[in-house]
């Protein structure tokens, strides 16, 4: 089923769970729809006026109808209780330890993604909106010792494969939505909030970050790029960037 | 001559007769439907040929489309206003304002609405609201452009058009609240003798529950609109958190507001609102199916009870539109559960309607065809609501074209078809003449095919991860490439859909003169509206005070003289 | 053509149309003020800091207004009672007092607003003041609406007393229900905005 649905490649450890439910629920929908449609077409043909000149006042003695409805409810409860809710809680509650993870800040703005790596010391430097200017969109305070080794990029998020990634998501202006289709994650960047979202890339490759919430006239072109790299390549890139900044 | 015309116009525009007001609602809302449709034609063309000059109309759009090429600003206005116009100025006024006004008093055997003057006021408020929305297109900065959802802070910092949107909404809301009051009072107080609750036609039940939804849900948006108005006009910070930087400039506001507050208030209205979009449609469908299967509805009581459950539950599912705002497990579990549960009453009603066909003697006339097509279309729309209702599967689908396809199957080939069916069905009662079947068939099959050609591909695009509200339909995204080509056939289908509306419009006007004379009860129907003279008397509708002697759909009663026994006919 | 049950009670529902109508309208009003109140709570919970309300606003003036409004509700009751006693003069007197009460309330409110604005306390100053102005302003609008209705029933509308007394009494009753609701909203706003 899932391959017919034509979703983007599943490139994270968590994607499989999402896709499994996606396939199951679409099976349910397909069965219901085909079932109903067959019955629908049957009655239309069987009870057309020319075939059935006089209607039957009492109509269908359909006990099974309530069974179908019960069945739908049962199926939905199963999907809910055994699949959706557990997976969801796994997605939002089980935050991996920062030590084992690649931690980055992503700050959305009209119409770009600012990415902030803590650098070697693993500590994010201080930021202050009063320092925001075209060359320093994050308002990073370079005088702060923790900030010296920090690395910032725009619309470019590089990550090492096979290791959990934690993104601390926020926005400078309006609501945006941070989506990595191949990782099966999406989270609104809501003004005034900093929210974590995490995943474990399992496949290397380079894909797009589409902004998924209407954020103004540039919404359609608010495209970032993220690349999942072999660890060595990623470290090399980090080092290069650190040297440049 | 001109003077006489003027006088008659004024007379119509100030009549307190529910039938006249119903027709006023009807024409205004149809016009808005047409406008909403034309706006979206631009969108569909734009999606197919982004960045290319729009043919024909390109020149007319002025600075909205320099050299005929649509600006993103204008694209966003189109999207927001299409949604707003279709929902608040098109479908609801047609389903409730027009059909409710014209048919409900007749079906309950009332001489008029309970508050005729208030009824007229509702219409004028609605028209005023609609006009405010329309003029905003011609204001500097153009119309509202933050989506029909008007999420803050975007909407707070948006152009003046947003203020007009808020003003227009407040007028429309007031109109709906007064209308809802009027419908409920009419149903409760003016029911003809003998018309007990469980003898009410299903259409009346649907309108009654709809009225309650409007009455209790709309105030939330009223409040939200007031607050956003304050944010825009006197710079309060209800929806503006501290420390925002817009376009490099620090926002000088007190701050401390909440961006999510708007979403809660909006969806607290907007989810019930989507059932407002569909319940009257279900009512119309039920009437037409009962009449054209020539048998009572299957499980009438069950359907009525389901309406209650649906109405109640629709107040506690709103946050399923907000799963991806960073919701914890408990809250999301609650809203997923309510969302799954609310699908059951819908399934029950749909099943009841399909089972009603069983054992019938089905007549396939135009209204019935539209009514029948509604069922599978609603099925597709409804079933695709399920993956959206599970928070986990909503992750990849949220804000993609999958959502657009989901609800358009419910509102376009769903509700719009039901409304068409209603027009074909009650037209003879209103005008005394039947609409033309041949033209009706062209309208039906054309619309059915085109609707599916437009919306089915959106599921594929959505699953591929293509977002909604994109000026270029996602052309710059690699994951959008495989499904991009679909936009071209979709654009042509949309234009074909427009062409297939022409027979309908012609039919609507030509049948006034040329239609086959209908008499009082052309469909041999049972409910009370058909017991009136055609058209119903200007004063009091009924020739003699009606009385109900039996349930609404007594078709093919064993041993009865005819295959239908009118509700108002003397006897047991 | 006559709409049934505009004045007389429908046996099986025990209601007249206007009465059911006003109750339904008030239901939506409850939802309106309810939504605004919920917003107030959410904003206050979410806010990093919230002023001491009683220190910012003038409790004495608000208390005065509370008394005035409750009094005007009482006179509204008396006005209806007078009609039931078939005494138009009595009605005129008490309805007059009700209107006076409403006007007084607005005057006091205006004074209060004046103080705030002159002290540079504007809706934009803080979300608390924003909510204060929004809620009290919306309530004041309701008072004005009530005043318009009452004024109508006081002077021109009263002509109906001679022709259809029952229907007129019905109107006054409905106006009364609305007026009591407006009063109730204030009694709710007073502690929420001034004391808590
Ligand atoms: C008429 C309007 C309408 C109706 C009835 C529904 C019905 C449902 N909707 Fe939909 N919805 C919208 C209009 C509607 N919706 C709109 C406008 C939006 C988008 C708003 C926006 O963001 O702009 C939306 C968005 C939306 C979302 C948010 C998606 C997102 O933004 O990520 C969700 C999530 O839970 C959802 C779920 C549901 C569910 C579970 C139902 C259920 O009630 C469906 C139950 C019905 C069924 C299960 C079908 C049963 C029928 C059969 C089985 C018979 C089949 C018959 C034959 C085959 C002959 N809807
Ligand atoms: C009831 C609601 C409703 C209805 C009926 C429709 C109908 C249609 N919608 Fe709409 N749509 C929305 C509600 C609705 N839509 C909403 C809420 C959005 C989201 C907006 C947002 O993003 O904020 C949306 C968004 C939306 C988009 C996505 C835009 C984007 O993502 O940027 C698209 C794209 O194709 C679209 C297409 C269509 C089409 C082709 C129809 C067709 O089905 C149109 C069919 C219309 C007719 C067939 C007209 C019938 C009328 C007549 C024949 C007139 C006769 C006149 C006289 C006699 C005077 N709609
Ligand atoms: Cu940022 Cu859309
Ligand atoms: Cu919903």
Quick: pLDDT tens for B98-110.
999 999 999 999 9
Query: Who among C24, C47, C127 is closest to B181 (CB)?
Result: C24
Distance CA C26, CA C32 (A): 9
Q: Is B327 within 8 Å of A57 when comparing Cβ atoms?
A: no
Q: What is the mean pLDDT of residues B256-264?
A: 95
User: Which of B94, B407, B452 for a ligand 1 pocket mutation test, highest count of atoms within 8 Å of Cβ?
Assistant: B407
B572 pLDDT tier (thresholds 50, 70, 90): low
Query: Across chain C, what does the average pLDDT equal?
Result: 94
Ligand nearest to the CA of A112: 3
Helix ranges (DSSP H) in chain C = 17-46, 53-56, 59-84, 88-118, 127-154, 160-163, 165-189
Which residues of chain C are modeled with pLDDT < 50?
A: none
Q: What is the pLDDT of residues A114-164, one digit of tens each?
A: 999 998 888 999 999 999 998 899 999 999 999 989 999 999 999 999 999
Backbone angles phi and psi of B157, in degrees to 5: -95, 5
- Residue A38 in contact with partner chain B when CB distance is under 8 A: no
Helix ranges (DSSP H) in chain A = 2-5, 15-46, 63-78, 85-93, 231-244
Query: For ligand 3, is residue A215 a contact (CB within 6 Å)?
Result: yes
Q: What is the mean pLDDT of residues B356-361?
A: 93
**Alpha-carbon distance values, B565 to A57, B204, B527, B570 (Å):** 12, 19, 9, 10
Q: What is the mean pLDDT of residues A225-236?
A: 96
Query: Across chain A, what does the average pLDDT equal?
Result: 92
- Report yes or no: B166 and B114 within 8 Å, Cβ to Cβ: no
Distance CA A132, CA B247 (A): 10
**Residues in chain C within 8 Å Cβ distance of B234:** 122-124, 130, 133
Displacement of CA A220 from its chain's centroid (Å): 18
Query: Who among C6, C15, C31 is closest to B220 (CB)?
Result: C31
Q: Which of A61-70, B203-212, C89-98 has the lowest mean pLDDT?
A: A61-70
ipTM of the complex: 0.95
Distance CA A114, CA A108 (A): 6
**Of residues B8 and A238, which shows the higher confidence score?**
A238
Which residues, in sequence order, are bridge partners of residue A151?
A117
Q: Which of A42, A57, A91, A197 to mutate to test the interface with B (most CBs of B within 10 A)?
A: A57
DSSP classification of residue A140 = B
- Report yes or no: A89 and A142 within 8 Å, Cβ to Cβ: no
Model-level pTM greater than 0.90? yes
Give me ligand 1 centre to Cα B320, in Å.
11
Q: In this predicted structure, what is the pLDDT of residue B59?
A: 79
- Token pair of A34, please? 């085909």
- Report yes or no: A80 and B389 within 8 Å, Cβ to Cβ: no
Query: For ligand 3, is residue A171 a contact (CB within 6 Å)?
Result: no
DSSP classification of residue B85 = I
Distance CA A64, CA B151 (A): 45
Query: For ligand 1, is residue B382 a contact (CB within 6 Å)?
Result: yes
pLDDT exceeds 90 at position B63: no
- Residue B21 in contact with partner chain C when CB distance is under 8 A: no
Which residues, in sequence order, are bridge partners of residue C54?
none
Q: What is the pLDDT of residues B297-350, one digit of tens each?
A: 998 999 999 999 999 999 999 999 999 999 888 999 999 999 999 999 999 999
pLDDT exceeds 90 at position B203: yes
Phi-psi region of C120 (alpha: psi -120 to 50; beta: other; left: phi over 0): left
- Report yes or no: B269 and B220 within 8 Å, Cβ to Cβ: yes
Distance CA B511, CA B436 (A): 7
Work out the widest C-alpha separation in chain C, in whole angstroms.
61
Start-to-end Cα distance in chain A: 47
Beta carbons within 8 Å of A189's beta carbon, 6+ residues apart: A106, A107, A108, A169, A170, A171, A175, A176, A177, A178, A195, A213
Distance CA C169, CA C175 (A): 10
**Nearest-5° angle of CA B151, CA B157, CA B158?**
75
Q: In this predicted structure, what is the pLDDT of residue B123?
A: 97
What sign for the dihedral angle of Cα B303, B304, B308, B311?
positive
Q: In this predicted structure, what is the pLDDT of residue A90?
A: 80
pLDDT exceeds 90 at position A102: yes
Burial class (CB in 10 A: 0-12, 13-18, 19+), A45: exposed
Distance CA B428, CA A27 (A): 44
What percentage of chain B carries pLDDT values higher than 90?
88
Ligand nearest to the CA of B502: 2
Q: What is the pLDDT of residues B511-535, one digit of tens each?
A: 999 999 999 999 999 999 999 998 9
Ligand nearest to the CA of B323: 1
- Report yes or no: C99 and C154 within 8 Å, Cβ to Cβ: yes
Pick from B166, B35, B154: which is nearest to B93 by CA?
A: B35
Distance CA B305, CA B299 (A): 10
Unique residue bearing structure tokens 């925002």? B244
Beta carbons within 8 Å of B260's beta carbon, 6+ residues apart: A190, B322, B325
Distance CA B411, CA C4 (A): 37
Distance CA B527, CA A47 (A): 23
Q: Is C25 within 8 Å of B181 when comparing Cβ atoms?
A: yes
Q: What is the pLDDT of residues B423-474, one digit of tens each?
A: 999 999 999 999 999 999 999 999 999 999 999 999 999 999 999 999 999 9
pLDDT exceeds 80 at position A233: yes
Q: In this predicted structure, what is the pLDDT of residue A191?
A: 96
Which residues, in sequence order, are bridge partners of residue A188?
A177
pLDDT exceeds 70 at position B268: yes
Query: For ligand 2, is residue B448 a contact (CB within 6 Å)?
Result: no
pLDDT exceeds 80 at position B1: no
Backbone angles phi and psi of C58, in degrees to 5: -95, 100
pLDDT exceeds 90 at position B164: yes
Query: For ligand 3, is residue A219 a contact (CB within 6 Å)?
Result: yes
Query: For ligand 2, is residue B373 a contact (CB within 6 Å)?
Result: no
Question: By alpha-carbon position, which residue is closest to atom 38 of ligand 1?
Answer: B385
Q: In this predicted structure, what is the pLDDT of residue A64?
A: 74
Query: Across chain B, what does the average pLDDT equal?
Result: 95
Distance CA B523, CA B99 (A): 18
Give me ligand 1 centre to Cα B343, in Å.
8
Ion ligand 4 — residues with CB < 5 Å? B 271
Chain A, nearest residue to B298 by Cα: A59
Q: In this predicted structure, what is the pLDDT of residue A78?
A: 85
Q: Is B237 within 8 Å of C124 when comparing Cβ atoms?
A: yes
């Amino acid at each position: 089923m899932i391959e017919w649905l034509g979703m983007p490649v599943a490139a994270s450890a968590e994607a499989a769970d999402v896709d499994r439910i996606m396939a199951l629920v679409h099976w349910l929908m397909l069965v219901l729809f085909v079932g109903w449609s067959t019955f629908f077409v049957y009655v239309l043909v069987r009870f057309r006026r020319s075939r059935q000149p006089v209607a039957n006042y009492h109509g269908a003695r359909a006990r099974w109808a309530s069974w179908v409805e019960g069945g739908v409810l049962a199926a939905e409860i199963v999907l809910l209780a055994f699949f959706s809710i557990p997976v969801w809680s796994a997605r939002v509650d089980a935050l991996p330890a920062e030590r084992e993870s690649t931690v980055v800040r992503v700050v959305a703005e009209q119409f770009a993604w600012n990415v902030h790596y803590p650098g070697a010391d693993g500590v994010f430097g201080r930021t202050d909106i009063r320092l925001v200017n075209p060359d320093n969109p994050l308002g990073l305070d370079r005088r702060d010792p923790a900030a010296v080794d920090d690395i910032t990029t725009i619309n470019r998020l590089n990550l090492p494969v096979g290791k959990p990634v934690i993104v601390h998501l926020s926005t400078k202006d309006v609501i945006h939505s941070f989506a990595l289709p191949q990782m099966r994650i999406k989270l609104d960047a809501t003004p005034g909030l900093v929210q974590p979202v995490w995943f474990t890339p399992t496949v290397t490759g380079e894909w797009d970050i589409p902004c998924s919430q209407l954020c103004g006239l540039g919404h359609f072109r608010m495209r970032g790029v993220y690349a999942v790299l072999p660890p060595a390549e990623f470290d090399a890139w980090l080092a290069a960037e650190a040297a440049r900044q | 001559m001109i003077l006489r015309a003027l006088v008659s116009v004024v007379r119509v525009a100030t009549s307190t007769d529910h039938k006249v007001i119903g027709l006023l609602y009807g024409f205004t809302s149809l016009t808005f439907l047409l406008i909403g449709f034309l706006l979206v034609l631009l969108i569909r063309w734009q999606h197919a040929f982004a960045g290319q000059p729009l043919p024909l109309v390109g020149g007319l759009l002025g600075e909205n489309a320099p050299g005929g090429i649509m600006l993103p600003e204008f694209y966003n206005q189109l999207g927001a206003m299409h949604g707003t116009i279709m929902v608040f100025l098109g479908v609801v006024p047609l389903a409730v304002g027009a059909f409710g006004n014209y048919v409900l008093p007749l079906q309950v055997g009332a001489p008029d609405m309970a508050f005729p003057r208030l009824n007229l006021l509702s219409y004028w408020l609605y028209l005023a609201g609609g006009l405010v929305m329309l003029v905003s297109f011609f204001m500097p900065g153009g119309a509202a452009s933050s989506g029909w959802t008007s999420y803050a802070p975007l909407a707070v910092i948006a152009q003046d058009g947003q203020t007009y949107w808020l003003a227009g909404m407040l007028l429309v809301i007031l109109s709906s609240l007064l209308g809802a009051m009027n419908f409920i009072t009419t149903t409760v107080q003016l029911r003809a003798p003998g018309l007990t609750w469980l003898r009410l036609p299903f259409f009346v039940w649907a309108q009654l529950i709809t009225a309650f939804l409007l009455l209790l849900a709309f105030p939330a948006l009223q409040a939200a609109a007031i607050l956003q108005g304050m944010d825009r006009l006197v710079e309060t910070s209800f929806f503006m958190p501290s420390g925002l930087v817009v376009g490099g400039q620090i926002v000088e506001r007190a701050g401390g507001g909440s961006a999510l507050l708007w979403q809660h208030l909006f969806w607290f209205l907007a989810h019930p609102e989507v059932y407002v979009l569909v319940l009257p449609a279900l009512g119309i469908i039920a009437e037409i199916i009962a009449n054209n299967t020539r048998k009572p509805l299957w499980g009438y009581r069950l359907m009525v009870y389901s309406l209650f459950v649906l109405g109640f539950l629709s107040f506690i599912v709103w946050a399923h539109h907000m799963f991806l705002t960073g919701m914890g497990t408990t809250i999301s579990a609650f809203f997923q559960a309510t969302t799954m549960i609310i699908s059951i009453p819908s399934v029950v009603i749909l099943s009841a309607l399909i089972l009603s066909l069983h054992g019938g003697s089905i007549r396939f006339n135009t209204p019935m065809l539209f009514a029948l097509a509604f069922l599978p279309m609603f099925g597709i729309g409804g079933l695709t609501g399920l993956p959206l209702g599970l928070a986990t599967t909503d992750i990849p689908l949220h804000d993609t074209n999958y959502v657009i396809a989901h609800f358009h199957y419910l509102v376009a080939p769903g509700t719009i078809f039901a409304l068409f069916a209603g027009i074909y069905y009650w037209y003879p009662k209103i005008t005394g003449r039947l609409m033309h079947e041949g033209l009706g068939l062209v309208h039906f099959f054309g619309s059915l095919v085109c609707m599916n050609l437009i919306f089915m591909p959106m599921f594929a695009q959505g699953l591929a991860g293509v977002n909604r509200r994109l000026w270029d339909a996602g052309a710059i995204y690699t994951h959008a490439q495989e499904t991009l080509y679909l936009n071209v056939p979709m654009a042509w289908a949309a234009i074909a859909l427009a062409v297939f509306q022409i027979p309908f419009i012609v039919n609507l006007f030509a049948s006034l003169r040329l239609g086959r004379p209908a008499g009082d009860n052309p469909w041999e129907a049972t409910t009370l509206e058909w017991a009136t003279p055609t058209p119903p008397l200007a004063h009091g509708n009924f020739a003699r005070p009606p009385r109900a002697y039996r349930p609404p759909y007594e078709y093919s009663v064993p041993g009865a003289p005819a295959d239908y026994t009118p509700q108002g006919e003397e006897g047991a | 053509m006559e709409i049934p049950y505009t004045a007389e009670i429908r046996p099986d529902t025990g209601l007249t149309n206007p009465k059911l109508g006003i109750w339904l309208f008030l239901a939506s009003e409850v939802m309106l003020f309810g939504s605004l109140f919920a917003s107030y709570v959410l904003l206050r919970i979410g806010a990093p800091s919230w002023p001491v309300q009683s220190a910012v606003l003038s409790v004495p003036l608000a208390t005065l207004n509370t008394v005035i409004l409750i009094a005007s509700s009482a006179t509204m009751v008396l006005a209806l009672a007078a009609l039931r006693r078939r005494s138009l003069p009595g009605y005129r007197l008490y309805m007059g007092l009700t209107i006076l009460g409403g006007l007084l309330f607005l005057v006091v409110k205006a004074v209060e607003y004046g103080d705030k604005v002159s002290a540079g306390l504007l809706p934009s100053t803080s979300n608390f003041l924003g909510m204060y102005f929004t809620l009290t302003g919306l309530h004041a609008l309701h008072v004005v609406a009530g005043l318009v209705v009452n004024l109508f029933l006081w002077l021109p509308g009263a002509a109906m007393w001679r022709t259809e007394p029952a229907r007129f009494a019905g109107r006054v009753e409905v106006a009364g229900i609305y007026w009591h609701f407006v009063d109730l909203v204030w009694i709710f706003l007073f502690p929420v905005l001034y004391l808590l």
